[in-house]
Structure formats: C-alpha cells, structure tokens
Structure 1
C-alpha cells in the first residue's frame, strides 16, 4: 500500500504508509463489522460490550467500555489504529487516544453513512472486495425491505432507551433513521437527540400507537412496561431488540429480517 490519505467521518485527514495491522475497536457494532470483513486476526483489543462474535471475549484483550477505557492497557497493546464512533465514545476519550496512535472516528446517522463507513474500512484495511460484497448485500436487502414496507400504514411510536430518568430516541440518530424506514413516526423526533420524558405528558406530546421498550442500553422489563402503560392507555407495548435498531455496520442485514418479522406481529 503506497502512502495514502483517507478522511474519516469527522472530516479528519489521516495518512497511512501501510494498511493498519493492529486494530483496537471501541464500538461493539463496528467490532462485528471488522470481523465480517475478515479482519479477525488484526483485532487485538475490544470493549466489554463487544459481544459479537461471541468468542472474542475469550481471545481478545478487553480494554474497558465505550465511555471509560484503560489507556495503559491500550498503550501496551501497541495498536496501529483505534476505531471509535462519535456517539459511542466521548471527545475526551478520542483526544486522549490520539496521544497513542491514529484514531479513526465514524459518525453514523443515516444508512448512507453506513455504506460510506464500510467503503472506508475497505480502503483503510485493504479489504475492498469484502467491503463491496457487504455493501451489495445490504443494498439488495434494503431494496427488498423497502418493497416489503411500502404499503404498510404509518404508526406513531415512542422508542424508550433509558429509565431514571426515562429517555427516548429523538432525532439525528441511527435509531430514528430506522424508525422512519419502518414507517414509524417518532413522536419525539422534534425534541432533541435523546430527550428526557415525563410519562404523564406522553399522550399530550404525541399519543403513540406503539411504545417500544429497547433491550439496550437499559434492559426494560415488565415492571417498566406496566409503569409506562399507566400513561399510554391504548398504545401497544412492544419489547424490541435494541441491537437491531441501534447497531450499524453488517448488523443491518439481520435487522431487515428482524423488522419484517416484527411487522407481521404488530
């Protein structure tokens, strides 16, 4: 690989003389993508939340979480590159990691951003063929899903992500992008990225048809469903797989199938 200059999704230029061989990933969904691109042998460090592929937790070095990392563990691994994400990792973490090596930051709001990330990884890690295969598979699955969903009526939804305080997905994030794709109108779309919710106002603020309780980052259970249900009346409460709505990368392929099955049950 000749010296190459590539730009990450924050618009930061990075120069590489060789394709990075020692990768640390601080983003669970991007760890999964790197694996799916055939880069398992290059990944040397991951977070405790990198649960896919399952065997990584026993063969890769755990260097912390997504919001708190062990800088010395990372330094000792002598990485060539650290993969971060604007939403998952803080700016403070990214700036500290830049003292160790190159930090590549992704920023995924739209499905188009997702395609771009995969293309970027193909160039960055010299696996363009695998990256193109994944983009082709995802493009086909996206087209197929759009055909599936085109006649489905729109429904108003509230997508809860946290408790104490209750918080929901708002706008300008990947969850909202996938809600839109599914013909779900997010009642909190105009309330910021992740607004805090007053349950007693939920009907006034949009009166949703569906209340989605995500499995992550907060694992909602029946007791929260009951608590929220006291204020939503006619809305149907649905427990959803948070990974399918919030993980980007190759996970989208599974997500499209998950969404189809979900619609058949609604």
Structure 2
C-alpha cells in the first residue's frame, strides 16, 4: 500500500483506493463530501452536521473527544481521518493500532490548504482538491485588497462563557483575524486562554466578536457585555466561517468582506 506522511510527521500506509472512510472531524467531513466521496464515507461524528443529509444518514461513531471504538470496529474502515487538536491523542493512537489513521495539524490557512490537497490525493480526488485549494487561496489573496483599510483595529474573539475564553496566537482563528486586517489583543497568549471582564477592559479592544460556536453566543450576551464595555463595538459572528478549515473556507472570504463592510461603524 502507498505510504503517506500526515501533518504530524507520521508515516501511514493507506490503500490506493480507500473505500470505507471514517472522519473524526466536522470540517474534514464536509471536505470529503465536497470531494464527492458519498459512497466511500462510512462513519462520522455526532458533530459532523454538514452536510445535513450525511448527518442524518451516516453512522455516527461518537464525538470528536469520545470516539466509540466498538462502532469503529463494526465499520472496519480502511482509512480514518483525524485532527491533532480536535481529537484525543490516546484514542487516535488506539485506532491507529488497528487501522490507517491520517492526522491533520492545522494552525493557519497554509496548513489548511495543505490538508485539503493531501486528503484529496489520498482519496483519489486530486484534481478536485487542487481546484478547491486554488479557489480558496485566490479568494483570500483578493480579500486583502478588497477589505477597507482597518489600521489593525484591536479585536477580541470569545469562544466560551463561564469562564470567558478567547483565542491566542497559535490558533487558526487568529490567522483568520490577521487576514481580515485585525489585531488580536490576546495574540500574545497561547491556545485558548481564560480571561476576565477586567482583562477585556484593560485590553483596549475596539471590537469584540462573539462566536456562534462552540458556545452559542446570542444577543443577550451582547447586552450583558455592552454594560461592561460601553465603548466597544460587539458583534455576533459565524464561528464555522472563522474556525472550520476544510472546504467551508471557500465561503469565508465573502463572509468576512460582508461582515466588515456591511456596517461602516464596524470599521
């Protein structure tokens, strides 16, 4: 069987035509769909909500953090696609003892595009993957020129409440903010740090973005935070378009352009 090197540096032996694929990551599940692998994908997680018809019809093998090995064994996959951050290392290692497991490691747009191309090659959809990656790359390049001049507006991006959590420098979301011409006020921190309202006040952020996932922020949370941050513009944003690093990226540049130009007060 052909050998492939995944994004963690592991060498994986994968059949040249995998026919029973399990995806452990929502954004990569959607990529498999857009690559036209309807017949080949046998299992997904309970969080793989796109496409909806797969969510309703494909076998769900648990969650991203609690894969049910007995269900995986029932499906007898010849390829499992996982992610270093979203899946649990010990669970991935256990599955890798039985099946070929290819693991992505995404930190920015470039590593996401590499993943798209590699998954397409592994699944015999190289041309489709290349076309998709080129479109995403081109649209993000044009985004830089089409967005209004932001002057590196300081922003904060919240992903959780109780406790408040934000994103640090070594995250995919941080790279998306940078590509929108924004400056993450917590960019000096690592991963997904906990912060306080006082930290937000002291940060000097002029824009506060509340994500729709993993915590489902709503208007009531804008109202709650606005009392504490009266001089900060607070907006709800689509978390999938800031954090899903698969084929959903093809919609992100247009969304960012709409988000940051639809209301002049946001800029």
- TM-score band by shorter chain is over 0.9
Structure 2: gaps (5+ residues): none
Tell me if 1:101 matches 2:99: yes
Assess if the C-alpha contact under 8 Å between 1:202 and 1:231 holds in 2.
no
Tell me if 1:222 matches 2:224: no
Assess if the C-alpha contact under 8 Å between 2:144 and 2:181 holds in 1.
no
- When structure 1 is superposed on structure 2, of 142-151 and 26-35 the one drifting more is 142-151
Q: Deviations over 1:242-265 (max 9, x none)?
A: 000000011111111110100112
Q: Shift in Å at residue 152 of structure 1? A: 3.3
Q: Shift in Å at residue 150 of structure 1? A: 6.6
TM-score with structure 2 setting the length: 0.94
2:58 and 2:212 mapped to 1: Cα distance?
25
For 2:136, which of 131, 134, 138 is the aligned residue? 138
Superposition misfits of 4+ residues, deviation over 4 angstroms: none
Distance 1:68 1:16, change over 3 A: closer
Corresponding residue of 2:247: 250
Distance 1:150 1:116, change over 3 A: farther
Q: Shift in Å at residue 238 of structure 1? A: 0.3
Instruction: State the secondary structure of the residue aligned to 1:203.
Output: helix
Corresponding residue of 1:149: 147
Instruction: State the secondary structure of the residue aligned to 2:64.
Output: coil
Instruction: State the secondary structure of the residue aligned to 1:144.
Output: helix
Q: Shift in Å at residue 17 of structure 1? A: 4.3
- When structure 1 is superposed on structure 2, of 31-40 and 229-238 the one drifting more is 229-238
Structure 1: gaps (5+ residues): none
TM-score with structure 1 setting the length: 0.95
Corresponding residue of 1:67: 65
Corresponding residue of 1:238: 235
Instruction: State the secondary structure of the residue aligned to 1:141.
Output: helix
Q: Deviations over 1:87-125 (max 9, x none)?
A: 111112211211331111101111110111111112211
Task: Map residues 1-266 of structure 1 onto 2, 5 A cutoff.
Answer: 3-149=1-147, 151-204=149-202, 206-264=203-261, 265=263, 266=266
Q: Shift in Å at residue 29 of structure 1? A: 0.5
Q: Shift in Å at residue 170 of structure 1? A: 1.1
2:221 and 2:136 mapped to 1: Cα distance?
34
Q: Shift in Å at residue 18 of structure 1? A: 2.5
Q: Shift in Å at residue 171 of structure 1? A: 1.4
2:259 and 2:165 mapped to 1: Cα distance?
23
Aligned residues: 263
1:222 and 1:152 mapped to 2: Cα distance?
25
